[in-house]
Structure 1
Amino acid sequence: MQLKLVPGNSAGTVTAYYMSSQGSNHDEIDFEFLGNLSGEPYTVHTNVYTQGKGGREQQFHLWFDPTADFHTFSVLWNPHTVVFSVDGTPIREFKNLEKIGVPFPKTQAMRLYSSIWNADQWATRGGLIKTDWTQAPFTASYRNFNAEACIESSSRVSSCTSAAQSNHTQWPWLSQELDPTLEERLKWVQKNYMIYNYCTDTKRFPQGLPQECNAKVS
């Protein structure tokens, strides 16, 4: 998906591009762009929900102006990992750690959504800056959406359930993971552009960080 934000004072708003299943125990994978005051860096807010539980936020500043041109924001989601990428550069990975008891989103079908919504209770400077409705309408432009995905039928059978799935010749993304080059790019982004990581927020988790944080992945 390619996205271009419209410049201007969008403080208090969130432009969201996300996948979600239904119900109180839903899974969700979020790309959100926090509104700002003109001239301030834009913040990309990411989150992963599993079985109705989120709270796995990581935030980044971008290394470019997202209002100047379209850029590609993509999600790799397969049974092994969730990878958030910007223009082909991974910014975050959430690995499948079910083996140590961490739930992973892999059993519920998700739909793709996009919206702009009012989040002035937290989005800009922790909620200090409220939405200025005189700046409305707030807009974002999308183009070149492309999906390689398994499709769930009305009988809840996945289109990927076939003999071809065993060798992934038809759906190579089902077994795709980061190669060493992309792992280095991920480290570069997280070192230079990450501004918040729930896995280092000991004040938020005084009783101990979430289990996946102790496994040194996020």
Structure 2
Amino acid sequence: MDHRLRCFGTTPKTHFLCSLIFFFFFFSFSNAAFDLATIPFNDGYSSLFGGSNVVRTADGNGVNLLLDRYTGSGFISSNMYRYGFFSANIKLPSNYTAGVCVAFYTSNGDVFQKSHDELDFEFLGNIAGKPWHFQTNLYGNGSTNRGREERYRLWFDPTKEYHRYSILWTAKNVIFYIDEVPIREVLRNDEMGADYPSKAMSLYTTIWDASNWATSGGRFKVNYKYAPFKAEFKDLILKGCPVNPIQEVSDSKACIDQHVDLEAQDYATMTPMRRRAMHNFRKHFMYYSYCFDTLRYPTQMPECIIIPEEQERFMENGRSIFVGKHRRQAKRKSRTKTPLDIINKGSM
């Protein structure tokens, strides 16, 4: 008999204890904040679209993006970067947010329309009383037909207070962070070829109407009775070497020192503690991964590192076998969810 503590497939008491330990581990880990220098909005960004729906904060250090029945909104970094660290404290809209998508991502689609690169967080709204979900993705050289998305739940309510979301992009790897907790790492290898993002990108942040797919596959649409929907951003961070995408080869030579400095930063190192935190997050909160979707990708993507303990929790369509269980538990819940509730009995 296996006497190791397991968090799934055992008694509710055991599951609760595992989740409780996991919660306090995450809480203490996320308080070990990175030493980061923020910049005022006007020093690194400009409005992308939305006109008056892009609202700068009074102190100049943040911005609110609004979505109403007329338009969404967004902002963009003033420069393009080849590798960097991109980060912001974000608070998402509350109440009924079905169909709303808030995106925090890097891209060069405006310059390389048929061969763009992209790294993204996409936060997907929900009906009232249901939690936000989110997904991460990676594209290189226009490889949109080979989506590398993963989808997750959160262990907190992202509408109550700010949380930090970050993307590290180097020549070696990509790491997505939430509150200094790594949730996904993609290691570059030769087999990926041009699928690994390698051209200079800008940082984009947008809020928009994604009614046709964002919530339950488009079943629930944006309800403008609850507009305007407001996403709040502050403590903005851009660390990287600005480059001209047309003269990228010569510019990249001038950025060698900055690249070395970037890879030497604390957040660029995947320590054993961070790897354990990432494993725990993925174990409890990831409910879809393209790496396990053998129906969509019979031949595994070259960067996928399959951990047997993770694989056994997913079906051949890449979905977690616990999705249905989470939904049934959510229907039985009547009181307001807390971050600890989401960890213990997260609803899908």
TM-score scaled by length of structure 1: 0.88
- The one-letter amino acid paired with 1:31 is F
- Asked whether the equivalents of residues 12 and 129 of structure 1 are also in contact (C-alpha less than 8 Å), the reply is yes
Q: After the TM superposition, which residues 161-172 of structure 1 pair with which residues of structure 2 at under 5 Å, given as runs?
A: 161=254, 164=257, 168-169=260-261, 172=264
User: What is the alpha-carbon distance in structure 2 between the residues aligned to residue 210 and residue 170 of structure 1?
Assistant: 27
Residue aligning to 1:75: 167
State the 1:78 CA deviation: 0.4
**CA gap 1:145/1:165 in 2 versus in 1, 3 angstroms:** closer
Change (3 A) 1:109 1:162: closer
Aligned to 1:42: 132
Is the Cα–Cα contact under 8 Å of residues 143 and 195 in structure 2 kept in the other structure?
no
Q: 8 Å contact 1:98–1:104 — kept in the other structure?
A: no
Q: Is the 8 A contact 2:262 2:268 kept in 1?
A: no
Partner of 1:118: 209
Amino acid at match of 2:289: N
Aligned to 1:15: 102
Partner SS for 2:229: coil
Checking the alignment, whether the CA contact within 8 Å between 1:6 and 1:138 is kept in structure 2 is: yes
- Any idea what the Cα deviations from partners look like across 1:28-64, whole Å, max 9, x if unmatched? 0011100111221211111101111131110111111
* Amino acid across the alignment from 2:101: V
Is 1:143 the counterpart of 2:234 in the alignment? yes
Q: Name the structure 2 match of 1:184.
A: 276
Report the Cα offset of residue 76 of structure 1: 0.8
2:241 is paired with a residue whose SS is: coil
Q: What 5-or-longer segments of structure 2 have no aligned partner? A: 1-87, 308-348
AA aligned to 1:72 is R
8 A Cα contact 2:100 2:210, kept in partner: yes
Identical counterparts, % of pairs: 36
Q: Would you say 1:53 and 2:143 are equivalent positions? A: yes
Question: 3-state DSSP class of the match of 2:205?
Answer: strand
- Deviation, 1:98, is 2.0
Aligned pair count reads: 213
Name whichever of 3-12 and 131-140 sits farther off: 131-140
Residue 289 of structure 2, aligned match among 197, 204, 209: 197
Letter in 2 for 1:28: E
1:65 corresponds to which of 128, 136, 157: 157
Q: Tell me the CA shift for residue 180 of structure 1.
A: 1.1
Unaligned 5+ runs, structure 1:
none
- Counterpart amino acid of 1:15? V
Runs of 4+ in 1 over 4 A off after TM superposition: 99-102
The secondary structure found in structure 1 opposite 2:291 is helix
Counterpart of 2:303 in structure 1 is 212
Larger RCO (alpha carbons 8 Å, 6+ apart): 1
Aligned AA for 2:118?
E
Select between 87-96 and 169-178 the one with higher mean Cα deviation: 169-178
CA contact (8 A) 2:170 2:263 kept: no
| Aligned-residue RMSD, C-alpha | 2.4
TM-score calculated relative to the size of structure 2: 0.57
